Amino acid sequence: MGVSGGGVERVNPGHLAPPTGFSHAVRAAPGTLVFLAGQTALDGAGRIVGDGIVEQFERALTNLLDVAAASGAGPSDLAKLTVFAVDVADYRRHAREIGRVWKRLAGGDYPAMAVIGATRLWDETALVEIEGIAVVR
């Protein structure tokens, strides 16, 4: 277990398999919950950018972090993320690259996370969408 910024504590019991790229649970300290809507790789003109899953993940995460910041939350305040991917096998094939993107943009703390396979997303050319919950004091 460990506390890190923004009023959230990562909970990773030692008797479970060590999590890689996520936390088993995140306990929120008293604070304000911020619900972050799903973000895809949309640019400012409303076009999906990025040819592959890694590029689209980077843009979607950047968009999510921008929305979080506008709400007063930083990367360490993220308690829960859900990643929707139209091709989970492709996501898994690129997991190391996606992990490097995460560390560069959000740091070494991981929220509780899930990757869910989706038939398609709202934006038909989107390969990934990320939504989340942050806790700010």
Question: Is 38:83 a contact under the CB 8 Å cutoff?
Answer: no
Q: pLDDT digit string (tens) for 9-65?
A: 788 888 888 888 888 877 777 778 888 999 999 999 989 999 999 999 999 999 999
pTM for the whole structure: 0.84
Q: Are 12 and 23 in contact (CB under 8 A)?
A: yes
Say if residues 134 and 34 touch (Cβ distance below 8 Å).
Answer: yes
When pLDDT is cut at 50, 70 and 90, the band that residue 5 belongs to is low
